[in-house]
Homo-oligomer: A and B are copies of this chain.
Amino acid sequence: MPEIKKINHVAIVVEDIEESLGFWRDALGLPLSHIEQVPSQESAVAFLPVAGSEVELVQPTTEGSGIARYLEKRGAGMHHLCFEVDDIVGMLAQLQAKGIQLINEEPLTGSDGRKYAFVHPKSASGVLVELYQLT
- Interface on A for B, CB 8 Å cutoff? 1-7, 10, 12, 14, 20, 22-24, 26-30, 50-53, 57, 75-78, 81, 83, 91, 94-95, 98-100, 121, 123-127, 129
* Smallest CB separation, A23 vs chain B (Å): 5
A27 touches B81 (CB 8 A): no
Query: Which chain B residues border A6 with CB–CB below 8 Å?
Result: 50-53
Query: Which chain B residues border A28 with CB–CB below 8 Å?
Result: 4, 83, 91, 95, 129
Question: A26's closest neighbor in chain B, by CB?
Answer: B98
A7 touches B50 (CB 8 A): yes
Question: A17's closest neighbor in chain B, by CB?
Answer: B125
Query: Which chain B residues border A1 with CB–CB below 8 Å?
Result: 29
